[in-house]
């Protein structure tokens, strides 16, 4: 941009500033108002009708820059609604990759199984792989226009947000919103295809096809949660520049080096003056045995929480798995150095994304979670909302251990909880007492999980007590106890209304296969019982436990 173009851009900013003043959208603090007024009054127009830039001082220029930036942000945001972006994105994925989802469903395969299955056949690889670059180009064009407005909308959501990171996408084995969505309003996921660009660029065609199919199936499991018409979306998918922008990656690498060195110091039990000395030290560790012999804290040698075997074996395994991502000729020592810096970059990236969008970091990969905690240890001054962090981690752990049904709540159930206004009460029930743990023992994530489980058990027992009270009313019709029907879930309210009973497994077990009379035949005295059950079922806690296995 030459000087003339820069001058015209400044004049445009000044016009924006003038317009915003005229519209009454700028308010100035008293302590700066007098000096700023003098600066504004000094601005003059030249003989050519343009603003004479020599009359514009630094104070006015700075204000014009800030106001123009805000104006540009608002215009960008208003150009596309978040609903439009989300629907357009999922329609694009559906049109291009929806057949993967249908084929996987027909085959009864999950995302990983189907990805392995389709990518194992050379004819499939030959057919689909050439189309992947075109698909990514179209996606890049879409996000080129939609990324900024998407980010601005997410920033402005007046709700609790969790920003996912630590892996390409949440695990295909469990919908992360099923548990976390009981506490967090909006879960922000990275576009898995955008986030996997390095995989598509560097991997073999069969691996590319595997990830294309796996991501498509996994992603589309979140479509209903993302597109449901709610005040705040349960799930949002958006890209992050750190996935593909080399300048962003370089920035992350620079700001993460100190943490990488700190982790290496813990690992090797010695100090390093900087990244250069760390690499020099690691360069001579040219065998797994030499590298392992220098390790002081074996607990911080972590390639994958699922890996077993000696440190030497794990170093060798890492070189086989990730060696192609390292500079040519890299040895075992460089693998450990790269692991230290790379994992700290990943944790830093998640923290920066979370701050940018105003949310809580969310991870479901155990290895990434360990490194994230080390990052917090090395940067004790980092300010996070510990209650939110404890809740999202605690709910995830509960869904993986004591309360597995939390990880299997179907999307329609989560949506119904929001639509019925049950979400806030459920959040209060689940989070009771967790804030105190987060404040007094910020590292005690397991204790928070135990507290959440305890809260759920207490709520469920209370709910069961309410059901029992209805059952114990002893109200009967034609000799049959309607309370028993309610307790085993044998007859839905719709069945009583239509005369067509809907029987579940519990009903068969209780031998309650009955001929249910039509609504008009039920005496008025039984309506209170029916309505009580309906209200109990629709209560916030009732909605939560309606889907408990």
Q: How far from 484 is each of 7, 507, 512, 528, 541, CA to CA, in Å?
A: 81, 10, 8, 16, 20
Which helix (H) or strand (E) segment holds residue 303: the answer is: none
With beta carbons less than 8 A apart as the criterion, state whether 451 and 437 touch: yes
Same domain, yes or no: 30 and 95:
no
**What pTM does this model have?**
0.74
Among 286, 313, 344, residue at a domain's last position = 344
pLDDT at 478: 37
From 236, 232, 240, select the one nearest 222 (Cα to Cα): 236
Helix (H), strand (E), coil (C) string for 192-231: HHHHCHHHHHHCCHHHHHHHHHHHHHHHHCCHHHHHCCCC
pLDDT at 276: 94
**In whole angstroms, what separates CA 461 from the centre of its chain?**
31
What does the buried/exposed string (b/e) look like for 271-294 if buried means 16 or more CB atoms within 10 Å of the residue's CB? ebeebeebbebbeebeebeebbeb
List average pLDDT for each run of 10 residues in the chain, which is 549 residues long. 77 76 72 70 80 80 79 83 94 93 94 95 92 91 90 92 90 86 89 91 92 96 95 93 76 88 95 94 92 94 92 91 72 91 91 90 89 85 73 74 69 84 75 73 70 66 55 44 37 33 33 35 41 50 58
pLDDT at 404: 67
pLDDT at 412: 87
Among 298, 320, 344, residue at a domain's last position = 344
Same domain, yes or no: 94 and 71:
no
446 in a structural domain = no
Residue holding tokens 């929480």? 305
pLDDT at 294: 95
pLDDT at 458: 64
Q: How far from 400 is each of 163, 166, 337, CA to CA, in Å?
A: 20, 18, 32
Q: How far from 378 is each of 298, 347, 366, 444, CA to CA, in Å?
A: 18, 11, 19, 17
Q: What is the dihedral of CA 243, 246, 251, 256, to 10 degrees?
A: 60
pLDDT at 445: 72
Among 79, 96, 115, residue at a domain's last position = 79
Same domain, yes or no: 19 and 64:
yes
Distance CA 515, CA 360 (A): 52
pLDDT in tens, 214-257: 999 999 999 999 999 999 999 999 998 777 677 788 888 888 89
Same domain, yes or no: 206 and 336:
no
With beta carbons less than 8 A apart as the criterion, state whether 216 and 97 touch: yes
From 147, 144, 178, select the one nearest 407 (Cα to Cα): 178
pLDDT at 488: 36
How many domains does the chain contain in total?
Answer: 4
533 in a structural domain = yes
Distance CA 151, CA 176 (A): 21
Residue 25 structural domain = 3-79
53 in a structural domain = yes
pLDDT at 405: 63
Same domain, yes or no: 107 and 173:
yes
């Amino acid at each position: 941009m030459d000087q003339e173009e820069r001058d015209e851009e400044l004049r445009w900013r000044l016009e924006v500033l003038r317009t915003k003043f005229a519209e009454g959208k700028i308010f100035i603090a008293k302590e700066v108002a007098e000096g700023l007024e003098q600066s504004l009054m000094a601005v003059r127009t030249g003989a050519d009708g343009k603003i004479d830039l020599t009359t514009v001082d630094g104070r006015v220029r700075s204000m014009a820059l800030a106001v123009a930036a805000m104006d540009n942000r608002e215009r960008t945001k208003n150009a596309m609604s978040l609903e439009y972006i989300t629907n357009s994105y999922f329609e694009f994925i559906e049109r291009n990759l929806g057949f993967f989802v249908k084929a996987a469903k027909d085959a009864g395969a999950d995302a990983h199984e189907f990805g392995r299955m389709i990518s194992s056949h050379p004819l499939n690889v030959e057919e689909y792989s050439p189309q992947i670059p075109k698909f990514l180009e179209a996606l890049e064009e879409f996000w080129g226009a939609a990324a900024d407005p998407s980010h601005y909308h997410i920033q402005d959501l007046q709700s609790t947000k969790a920003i996912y990171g630590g892996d390409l996408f949440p695990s295909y084995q469990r919908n992360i919103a099923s548990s976390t969505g009981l506490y967090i309003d909006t879960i922000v996921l990275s576009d898995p295809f955008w986030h996997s660009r390095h995989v598509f660029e560097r991997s073999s065609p069969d691996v590319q096809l595997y990830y294309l199919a796996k991501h498509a199936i996994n992603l589309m499991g979140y479509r209903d949660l993302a597109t449901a018409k709610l005040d705040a979306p349960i799930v949002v998918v958006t890209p992050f520049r750190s996935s593909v922008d080399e300048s962003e990656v370089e920035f992350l690498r620079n700001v993460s080096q100190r943490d990488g060195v700190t982790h290496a110091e813990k690992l090797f039990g010695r100090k390093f003056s900087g990244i250069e000395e760390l690499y020099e030290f690691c360069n001579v560790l040219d065998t797994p045995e030499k590298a392992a012999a220098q390790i002081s804290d074996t607990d911080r040698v972590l390639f994958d929480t699922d890996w077993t075997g000696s440190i030497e074996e794990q170093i060798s395994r890492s070189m086989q798995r990730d060696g192609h991502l390292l500079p040519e000729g890299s040895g075992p020592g460089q693998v450990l150095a790269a692991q230290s810096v790379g994992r700290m970059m990943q944790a830093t990236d998640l923290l920066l994304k979370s701050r940018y969008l105003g949310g809580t970091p969310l991870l479901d990969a155990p290895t990434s979670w360990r490194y994230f905690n080390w990052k917090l240890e090395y940067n004790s001054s980092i300010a996070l909302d510990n209650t939110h962090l404890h809740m999202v981690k605690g709910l995830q752990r509960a869904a993986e251990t004591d309360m597995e049904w939390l990880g299997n709540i179907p999307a329609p159930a989560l949506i119904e909880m929001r639509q019925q206004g049950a979400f806030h009460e459920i959040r209060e029930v689940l989070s009771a007492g967790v804030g105190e743990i987060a404040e007094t023992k910020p590292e005690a994530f397991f204790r928070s999980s135990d507290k959440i489980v305890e809260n759920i058990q207490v709520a469920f027992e209370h709910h069961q007590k309410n059901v029992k009270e209805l059952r114990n009313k002893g109200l009967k019709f034609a000799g049959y106890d309607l309370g028993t029907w309610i307790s085993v879930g044998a007859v839905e309210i719709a069945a009583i209304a239509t005369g067509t009973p809907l029987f579940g497994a519990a009903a068969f077990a209780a031998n309650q296969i009955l001929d249910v009379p039509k609504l008009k035949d039920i005496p008025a005295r039984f309506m209170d019982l029916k309505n009580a059950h309906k209200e109990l079922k629709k209560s916030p806690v009732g909605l939560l436990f309606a889907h408990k296995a």
